Each structure stands twice: as C-alpha cells, then as structure tokens.
Amino acid sequence: MLGACHERVERMLALLARLQQHLLAQGCDDAARQAARDVMRYFDLAAPLHHQDEEMHVFPPLLAGPDPALRALVQRLLQDHREMEAAWPLARSVLQAVSDNPAADWMPLAPAGTEALNRFAALYVRHLADEDDLAYPAAQAVLTADALQAMSQDMMQRRGVPARKQERCPAA
C-alpha cells in the first residue's frame, strides 16, 4: 500500500507539472481547474495519511535499530514531512486560485506562484527515492508478518476501507 501511495504521489506531481505547462500554453480552462482540484484533493487528504502511516509504522523500528546512518535518514525523512506540510498551504493557495478563476479573468501565474508549486514538488523527489530505495526495504527486513498485518489493518481502518476476510487453514 505504501508503494502504491508513492505511485500516486508521482502521478500527482506529474499532473502538477503538466498543469503548469497547460496554464502557460492554454491558460486557465476547465481542464486546468479540474487538474488543480485533483492535486489539491490528493495532497489535502491522502498525502497526510501516508505520512502518518510512515511515522506510525515504518519509521519507529528504524529509529530503534542499530544503524546510525538509517536513523539519520529517518530523521531527515521526518524533517521532510514537516517541510512538505509547511510548503503545502502556499502551493495550495496557488492551486485554489487556478481552481476558482474564471477563464476570462486568467492572468498567468506570478513567478512566486510558480516557485511555490516547484518548491513543493521538489521536496518530494529525493524523499520518495530515499524511502523506496532505503527506508522501505530496511523496514521490511525488520518488521514481522504480524506487524505488517497490523500496519495494513490500521491503514485500511483509518481510510475507512473494510477489512478483507482472510481465509485461514485450520490448525492441523
């Protein structure tokens, strides 16, 4: 589920880049307004839950582990989360302006608006790679099957996803 979340983050960041190009080439139209709403919805709802998942389930065993380089990485990943949270309101305000703007009133994004969107997207680039390449494999190596199952159940519960019935073989 965490890997799937990263794929969605990457899709939303690609949509954000395409939106900026679209605004330059086509201006603010219905497609631009919908793209802005889609990006806002993802980073308003799903991204915070994803960060919570990592902070509750993935990072603690790594922080408790013996590898100082891994602990330093997790500390930086936690700091990244704080920076993303701090950068989001400004980026969101730019997207909200796109979403709310009638085409007839459209003025190209000011340099500060473009910078806010680019800065927000840039925060994710190294972060995603470090989680995918280092943190997730390290966590998977130390988490037990029961811990992974509990993590999955918690993630589904917090998202309102019904738990799947698991078929178990009777004890022999």
Q: Domain locations in the chain?
A: 2-159
Taking a C-beta distance cutoff of 8 angstroms, is the pair 32, 22 a contact?
Answer: yes
Residue with tokens 């802005």: 36
Is the predicted pLDDT of residue 167 greater than 80, yes or no? no
Q: Residue range 59-78: average pLDDT?
A: 97
Q: What are the backbone angles phi and psi of residue 66, rounded to the nearest 5°? A: -85, -10
Is the predicted pLDDT of residue 166 greater than 50, yes or no? no
Among left, alpha and beta (phi > 0; psi -120 to 50; other), residue 39 is alpha
Is the predicted pLDDT of residue 104 greater than 80, yes or no? no
Domain 2-159: CATH class, spelled out: mainly alpha
Token reading at 60: 């603690």
Q: Residue range 39-56: average pLDDT?
A: 96
pTM of the predicted model as reported, rounded to 2 decimal places:
0.86
- In this prediction, residue 162 has a pLDDT band, given cuts at 50, 70 and 90, of confident
**Rounded distance, CA 62 to CA 57, Å?**
10
Q: Residue range 58-78: average pLDDT?
A: 97
pLDDT (0 to 100) of residue 163 = 66
**Rounded distance, CA 164 to CA 147, Å?**
17
DSSP 52-118: HHIIIIIHHHHHTSS-HHHHHHHHHHHHHHHHHHHHHHHHHHHHHHHHH--GGG--PPPHHHHHHHH
Q: Quick one: which of 73, 80, 75, 48 has its CA closest to 137?
A: 73
pLDDT (0 to 100) of residue 119 = 97
pLDDT (0 to 100) of residue 7 = 94
Is the predicted pLDDT of residue 75 greater than 60, yes or no? yes
Token reading at 9: 């983050």
